[in-house]
Amino acid sequence: MAGEVVRQRGLTATMPDGVELVADAWLPSNGGPWPVLLQRLPYGRAVASSPVLPHPVHLARAGYAVVSQDSRGRGDSGGTFAPFVNEAADGEASIAWAAGLDFCDGRVATYGFSYQGMAQLLAAARRPPELWAIAPMQCAAGPYEGWTYHGGCLALPFAAPWAAQLAGQQPGVREPEVDLEALPLAGALGDRPPRWWTNWLAHPEPGLWWEHRSADLTAITVPAFVVGGWHDQFASATCHLVTALGAEAVLGPWQHLPWGSRVGDHELGADAGPGAAHQGLLAFLDRVLKGRGEPPAARVRYHTGGAGWREAAAWPPPGVVTQRWAATSGGHANSRHGDGRLVPGDAAPGPYDLIDAEPLAPVPGGLDPLSDESAREDRRDVLCYTSEPLARDMVITGQPRAIVVTAADSGPHDVVATLTAVEPSGRSTRLATGARRNRDRAPAELADATVELSPISWLVPAGHRLRLDLSASRFPAFDRNPQNAGVAPHRAGRDDCRVALVEVHAAVLALPVEEA
């Protein structure tokens, strides 16, 4: 018991195949029955996403029965855990079970972030009649694009530690040590890696294997509330959910953990903390489950770095326009000291730039939020295209894209694009990064590729400059490309890696901009 809240432990739900899943419930002590908020997670039901969301005690105090359930094969639940595989069927059955609990008034909503968000989507796509609403946060519709892979590149510093964490939470299993430098990459979790790690690496391209673990968003018809963070590794996928579901949303300046106002060495102010997400969630639940309040005139609230909170009727905001900026040079855009320029308009014919791409000495870098890129931009295997100082403030809101025409003597190669804002002092603040793996290229084949950078909302002040960086690697943010058509990247050893000469013939930055 916590004040006026009563906790019930060890509730069991029997799945259609006979496996029993175990849950705890937090209930208001007076009144009832109540709407149920159901969360299903593989990290232990007592956690209940409380590192970023209100604890079930707080939600129970707001008049909800909260049920937190261990996923199949996790915690005290029976069966065998396999990421994403059973969440649709188990979720559908668990929603029906929750609706029949003696303290439930028949209305069930699901909520939670990360894996718990995707589990909701998988269940909701089955349209269980007892489900009234969903609140998936910081997640994707499926575990391929925007989760395990980005543009065909493995999101290595997320995927490997998460695979190890899931393995270590199994009974009697020690969490594997992670070696991001391992070659071949298949050995990054030791000589007995968890089966899901092996499977993720064995399926580096989209296809049926991933589709069977993904939700059909067109099948979801219940109201949805989404939370996203600009500096979360799932930001692109989360913003896609907002659009696809027509969801209400709060998009803040947050990482996956924590949801705070401190981002890198930038303090964005107290109102940039998680309060907007928590308040939005409760207002949404009260309206959908209790009939309190009116739908908001603006469905989406989002935080703009340097300008605070804004509102929009949908995502992307209707007032956003796409500006095109061309990367141009005299053929020597290598490093921030080169002759690369970023100018308004489309690319014009001119000399191409060269990147000497060495898989065993890749461009170093993670995806640290708002990091200073200037030291990295001193490298000659990074092409830098810099604008003139802006004449007026610019607000970038949405998902930038880089359309890049390349060729490589190796054939296969990667293109990594990073957008920065350059201060008069020379600091180059990373706003967004994206990658694209060009797999099936023949040597010297000239073709274009679209690199989707992560979404952002940021005010670039007058007098600051824009910069587009292009490289053929960013490690360990993305796995190494051996640049060898004869070997799969995850199986490549040191002797399989090939140095490549990458030609960049044209590049255009498509920049989503709104009025300051």
Q: What CATH number should be reported for the domain holding residue 386?
A: 2.60.120.260
In 10 A of CB 1, how many CB atoms? Answer: 9
Q: Is residue 228 part of a domain?
A: yes
Residues 269 and 307 in one domain: yes
Residues 127 and 177 in one domain: no
- Distances in Å between the Cα of 483 and the Cα atoms of 158, 318, 354, 363 are 23, 41, 16, 15
Task: Tell which residue, 83, 116, 86, 117, has the closest CA to residue 196.
Answer: 83
Residues 82 and 98 in one domain: yes
What is the structure's pLDDT at 1?
40
Please confirm whether the linkage preceding 184 is cis (ω < 30° from 0): yes
Kindly give the residue spans of alpha helices, DSSP state H, lying in 247-401: 275-290
Residues 192 and 223 in one domain: no
Residues 326 and 445 in one domain: yes
> How many domains are there within the chain?
3
C-alpha span between 417 and 156 (Å, rounded): 17
Q: Is residue 213 part of a domain?
A: no
Q: Is residue 210 part of a domain?
A: no
Q: Is residue 211 part of a domain?
A: no
What is the structure's pLDDT at 172?
81
Contacts of 146 by beta carbon, 8 Å cutoff, 6+ apart = 140, 234, 236, 237, 238, 240
Low-confidence ranges of the chain (pLDDT < 50): 1
C-alpha span between 374 and 325 (Å, rounded): 21
What is the structure's pLDDT at 4?
86
C-alpha span between 302 and 230 (Å, rounded): 10
DSSP E strand stretches across 31-130: 34-41, 65-70, 104-113
Q: Is residue 271 part of a domain?
A: yes
Residues 262 and 368 in one domain: no
Q: Is residue 394 part of a domain?
A: yes
Residues 10 and 114 in one domain: yes
Q: Domain of 49?
A: 5-152+219-312
Residues 26 and 147 in one domain: yes
What is the structure's pLDDT at 26?
98
Residues 466 and 493 in one domain: yes
Q: Is residue 360 part of a domain?
A: yes
For 72, the token pair is 């199949």
Residues 136 and 195 in one domain: no
Q: Is residue 214 part of a domain?
A: no
What is the structure's pLDDT at 289?
97
Please confirm whether the linkage preceding 316 is cis (ω < 30° from 0): yes
Contacts of 226 by beta carbon, 8 Å cutoff, 6+ apart = 135, 136, 137, 238, 241, 242, 245, 247, 248, 249, 250
Q: Which residues does residue 6 pair with via DSSP β-bridges, in sequence order? A: 27
- DSSP 3-state assignment of 151? coil
Kindly give the residue spans of alpha helices, DSSP state H, lying in 54-194: 56-61, 87-99, 115-124, 156-168
What is the structure's pLDDT at 516?
57
Last residue of a domain, one of 282, 312, 342: 312
Q: Phi then psi for 475, rounded to 5 degrees?
A: -115, 130
Residues 160 and 268 in one domain: no
Statement: the pTM of the whole predicted model exceeds 0.85: yes
C-alpha span between 251 and 324 (Å, rounded): 25
Write out the DSSP string of 373-386: -TTGGGSTTEEEEE
CA–chain centroid gap for 385, Å, is: 27
Last residue of a domain, one of 176, 204, 232: 204
Residues 247 and 359 in one domain: no
